[in-house]
Amino acid sequence: MNAEAFNTKVKRNVAHNFDQSIRLYREFEDKHGFFEALTMKMAEAIGIEEHASVLDIGCGYGVSACALHERLGCRVLGVDLSPEMIAAGRSYCQGEGIELCVGDGENLSSLVEDHSFDYALYNASIFIFPDVSRTIAESHRHLRDGGKIAFSFYPQLLGEDDADLFELAFERLGEPLPRFRVITGYAKAAAALESRCVDIGHHRWVRPLDIEFLQDFFSIPAQSASLFPGRGYEERRELSLRLFGTLGDQTKTGRIVWRMAEGAKSGAALRQ
């Protein structure tokens, strides 16, 4: 399969998986307030200013858009591949100054026209993009000089001496470690950012290992798809519950680490 066909297939699957996820995604967010907290951690880490304009790429049902609008008065345009996520977002996000639309973050021009944003954010979405260079090039094009691109990433589960607790959990469950937990790794996403931006910064939000949180997070259909590819949803959910249940002895030392990266658009760098 060539790269373009692979890209198209990934995006079709992603849209389908998130279309199927909306109910459990909302239940998860209502219980844990997690995506909102991650948004605000990123906003704090990169210093998002009040009343800024934000392009939210992979916006889901608009959790980040609403949080940034309500707390910082930001104007937000959100773009997502999943029609069901956007439909849910249009009733969830009531504020003026929030617009959500179905679209592909690798092809932003038709959606965004010639608008220049202060920030382009990927909250827990960039690791799903098959062509990360393309989406960063697109969001960079629609940023004003001095504006920032930032992303938050898929979680690391770390134990003592930074042991990978995903590996330990799969070993204990007796299931093979999935070859790809993400479509695009952190290093590749960071390299794409570095190729376009200056003043690169990396941040981390470290939380204690919380088994129930992980079980709920990976009970969202789209999240469990990466752990147990090829299995039906009910089986994936049951496996996810057992998978993280194996880590009960790790809660004293274990951590969930959310990495973030940021870079700024430099007019000078562009002219070089």
Ligand X SMILES: C[S@@+](CC[C@H](N)C(=O)[O-])C[C@H]1O[C@@H](n2cnc3c(N)ncnc32)[C@H](O)[C@@H]1O
Q: Which residues lie near ligand X (CB under 6 A)?
A: 11, 14, 18, 35, 58-60, 63-64, 79-82, 85, 104-106, 123-125, 128-129
Per-residue burial over 162-190, b if 16 or more Cβ lie within 10 Å, else e, is eeebbebbbeebeeeeeeeebbbebebbb
CB of 76 to ligand X, least distance (A): 11
CB of 126 to ligand X, least distance (A): 9
CB of 234 to ligand X, least distance (A): 21
Q: Give CA–CA dist 227/50, Å, rounded.
A: 38
Task: Check: CB of residue 45 under 8 Å from CB of residue 245.
Answer: no
Q: Give CA–CA dist 14/222, Å, rounded.
A: 8
Which residue lies nearer to ligand X by CB, 79 or 264? 79
Q: Give CA–CA dist 25/42, Å, rounded.
A: 20
Task: Check: CB of residue 61 under 8 Å from CB of residue 89.
Answer: yes
For helices 83-92 and 22-32, give the axis angle rounded to 10 degrees.
Answer: 40
CB of 254 to ligand X, least distance (A): 22
CB of 134 to ligand X, least distance (A): 9
Per-residue tokens: 174: 């007796």
Q: Give CA–CA dist 174/105, Å, rounded.
A: 37
CB of 212 to ligand X, least distance (A): 19
Which residue lies nearer to ligand X by CB, 12 or 198? 12
Backbone φ and ψ for 174, nearest 5 degrees, come out as 80, 25
Which residue lies nearer to ligand X by CB, 223 or 250? 223
Which residue lies nearer to ligand X by CB, 63 or 192? 63
Which residue lies nearer to ligand X by CB, 183 or 197? 183
Which residue lies nearer to ligand X by CB, 104 or 118? 104
